[in-house]
Chains A and B, each alone.
Chain A
């Protein structure tokens, strides 16, 4: 299950990248970051509406791509990717967003196994499960 959207911004790539990565900018258009470690494997958290959503950063290619995995506050994980491209027609920057729904916490076991993945995802799963226990 995948959702894709895009928008063309009349800015330079550097300016667009700043909108995607600066905490104050993110708070204005995306969600208020409670924690933001923008490195592969880094952990982030966002106050999205009334929900705290935990995220693990998957990929950071400055000026090109930003990808993370996050939960919806209810046990469902999804992968979000921002891809930046020069928009030939307008001279601006096209930001393409993709959000792909992953399985629930039980699906973590089907993801690639590797020490780094396990550690990051275990943390995410524990946080997700903890929230379920707390809200039950």
Chain B
């Protein structure tokens, strides 16, 4: 079940990712989301239950907002979003590759690869897989 409607929001362009409220319904939704999260953080619950409930709430809002983002219909905004996200990804990949290259060179000099951050390597690999899967899906779609 999704609650957030795409017509309540506009795409956040200049300050990160996500949506900005556009209508009063969007502002009410955002306010309720904040109240719920703050309420859970300050709730007099056992920490292990609190973490689970906050995580569940965060996942719910992530899916709800994400669903609204996907359903935003403006084609020009979608194109701009795609280009901006592509540029951001290239910037991230560039920094990752520079970081991995530096760590690899440092490790080669030391003769010890245990200090490499393999999480960075995994991040680049995941990006490759996601791009390949996306292209396969797009080619089949149209």
Q: Do A and B bind each other?
A: no
Interface of B toward A, CB cutoff 8 Å = none
Interface of A toward B, CB cutoff 8 Å = none
